[in-house]
């Protein structure tokens, strides 16, 4: 009788339905190719400048149709590979389970428990590869635009992220090394960096992510309106949050989880700063709004007290130039979210998630300005309320 229990694993996915989707794409490819061939009949049988222009446009559309058909075939091929991996994994898991249950031997149970974890990872990788191929199929954006592409985490990446988690737990994580990438999610990065300004905030972020050794994935907990949701993360966005001396870290695991739950399109420029801080940490937030370029005395007292209490704060910029405390003009971008780093009696320091600021080759992401300049340039200040 085995002393170790069988792990409970249900390899997700239906290989038959995946294959059916591939068949559908192949059918579409054939129909599109037939339409491209039929466009030959659209060529004009007259001559002249207009006939040449018209014929050229027919050639362009024929080429576009053939390109779509080709991408359909590439997507179908990727789905068929995924279906094969999924089918083989399910068959092997079933056979190993029957053997382990039938013999009851410890070695068979251990062999099953070990192999089924490997099979689960193989299926995830195959699904990820197929997803990338389908991005190519469905996307017609400029290559410089964010399109949801991601890369699998390497062992070195995983080691670095786990070190980041340990640093967060110890309150020593270096948030200022991070840089917003090609995704329009300044609201998310500014919120994460604001949280990481204090040990309590770093602990809140650390509590939201853990490494699952058995599954080989990071589990990120998002605090949504519907309640806590655990997201499995094993990739990082190619154009996501970066760092001055490396490519991958704990903040982009939070970014990937956000994108997986809300969709990468929703991640890109569609999030709200107040929501993001709540979702990644579970803390409540309040928003102070300046009127005619000024915060009231009570509002400023709230902002000052939040800074004294090391509560996370972010500020929404408006399109304007400010003069910093050294007399240098710096551009503030409208609808761009900045992390509030410090508040004094008559000054405020903010940090741009880009890690830099425009105008006059301003070398730093930090800007210190007078209270008056801050109130004029930042009409909204969001304050988190950590316990």
Q: Of 42-51, 158-167, 243-252, give the range with the top mean pLDDT.
A: 158-167
Q: Of the candidates 197, 150, 176, 112, which has an alpha carbon nearest to the alpha carbon of residue 365?
A: 176
pLDDT confidence bin for 145, thresholds 50/70/90: low
Please state, in angstroms and as integers, the Cα–Cα distance from residue 49 to each residue in 17, 40, 45, 109, 115, following that order: 51, 19, 13, 77, 68
Per-residue confidence band for 359, with pLDDT thresholds at 50, 70 and 90: low
Do residues 100 and 182 share a domain? no
- Count of the separate structural domains present in the chain: 3
Range of 345's domain? 284-385
Instruction: Tell me the range of 40-44, 256-260, 268-272, 339-343 where mean pLDDT is highest.
Output: 339-343
Q: Evaluate whether residue 6 is within a structural domain.
A: no
- pLDDT for 17: 93
Q: What is the SS3 assignment for 250-262?
A: HHHHHHHHHHHHH
* Mean of pLDDT values over 150-164: 92
Can you tell me the mean pLDDT for 99-108? 87
| Whether 206 contacts 169, CB under 8 Å | yes
pLDDT in the model for residue 361: 60
pLDDT at 362 over 70: no
Give the mean model confidence (pLDDT) for residues 143-170.
Answer: 86
| 200 and 177, same domain (yes or no) | yes
Average confidence (pLDDT) over 249-276: 88
**167 and 132 assigned to the same domain:** no
Domain assignment present for residue 350? The answer is yes
Band the pLDDT of 376: cuts 50, 70, 90: very high
Q: What is the largest CA-CA distance in the chain?
A: 88
Q: Check residue 40 and give its pLDDT.
A: 81
Across the range 89-116, mean pLDDT stands at 88
pLDDT computed for residue 119 by the predictor:
87
Instruction: Give residue 246's pLDDT.
Output: 76
**Is residue 145 in a domain?**
no
Report the alpha-carbon distance of residue 318 to residue 369 in Å, rounded.
Answer: 15
Mean pLDDT, rounded, for 130-148:
63
> Are both 291 and 253 inside the same structural domain?
no
Which CATH number does the domain housing residue 366 bear? 3.90.70.10
Same domain, 84 and 120: yes
* Tens digits of residue pLDDT in 286-327: 999 999 999 999 999 999 999 999 999 999 999 999 999 989
pLDDT at residue 247, as a whole number: 81
**20 part of a folded domain:** yes
Q: What is the pLDDT of residue 84?
A: 93
Based on the fold, state whether residues 171 and 129 are members of the same structural domain: no
Distance CA 285, CA 331 (A): 27
Residues 117, 190 within the same domain = no
**CA pair distance 339, 100, nearest whole angstrom:** 55
**Short-list 247, 274, 243, 275, CA closest to 261:** 275
322 in a domain, yes or no? Answer: yes
Same domain, yes or no: 93 and 180: no
Determine contact, residues 97/70, Cβ cutoff 8 Å. Answer: no
Q: Is this prediction's pTM over 0.85?
A: no
pLDDT the model gives residue 143:
39
Count of H-run helices and E-run strands, the chain: 11, 15
> Chain centroid to CA 99: how far?
41
What does the pLDDT average to over 331-349?
94
Residue of 209, 208, 180, 191 whose CA lies nearest to 384: 191
- On average, the pLDDT of the chain sits at 88
């Amino acid at each position: 009788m085995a002393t170790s229990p069988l792990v409970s694993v249900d390899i997700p996915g239906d290989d038959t339905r995946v294959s059916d989707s591939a068949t559908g794409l192949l059918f579409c490819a054939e129909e599109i190719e037939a339409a491209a061939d039929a466009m030959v009949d659209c060529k004009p049988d007259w001559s002249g400048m207009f006939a040449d222009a018209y014929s050229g446009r027919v050639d362009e559309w024929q080429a576009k149709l053939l390109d779509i058909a080709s991408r359909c075939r590439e997507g179908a091929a990727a789905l068929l590979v995924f279906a094969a991996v999924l089918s083989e994994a399910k068959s092997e898991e079933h056979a190993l389970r029957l053997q382990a249950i039938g013999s009851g031997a410890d070695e068979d149970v251990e062999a099953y428990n070990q192999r089924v974890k490997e099979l689960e990872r193989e299926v995830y990788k195959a699904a990820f590869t197929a997803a990338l191929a389908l991005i190519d199929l469905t996307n017609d954006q400029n290559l410089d635009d964010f399109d949801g592409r991601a890369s699998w985490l390497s062992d070195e990446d995983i080691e670095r992220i786990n070190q980041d988690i340990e640093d967060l737990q110890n309150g020593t994580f270096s948030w200022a090394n991070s840089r917003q990438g090609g995704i329009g999610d300044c609201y998310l990065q500014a919120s994460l960096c604001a949280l990481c300004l204090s040990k309590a905030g770093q602990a809140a972020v650390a509590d939201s992510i853990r490494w699952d050794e058995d599954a080989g994935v990071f589990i990120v907990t998002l605090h949504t309106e519907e309640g806590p949701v655990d997201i499995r993360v094993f990739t990082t966005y190619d154009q996501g949050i970066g760092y001055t001396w490396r490519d991958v870290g704990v903040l982009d695991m939070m970014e990937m989880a956000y994108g997986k739950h809300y969709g990468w399109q929703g991640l890109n420029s569609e999030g709200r700063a107040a929501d993001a801080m709540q979702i990644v940490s579970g803390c409540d937030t309040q928003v102070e709004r300046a009127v005619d370029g000024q915060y009231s005395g009570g509002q400023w007292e709230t902002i000052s007290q939040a800074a004294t209490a090391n509560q996370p704060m972010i500020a929404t910029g408006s399109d304007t130039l400010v003069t910093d405390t050294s007399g240098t003009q710096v551009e503030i971008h409208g609808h761009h979210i900045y992390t509030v780093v410090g508040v004094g009696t008559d000054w405020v320091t903010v940090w741009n998630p880009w890690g830099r600021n425009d105008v006059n080759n301003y070398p730093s992401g930090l800007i210190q300005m007078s209270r008056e300049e801050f109130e004029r340039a930042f009409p909204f200040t969001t304050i988190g309320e950590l316990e």
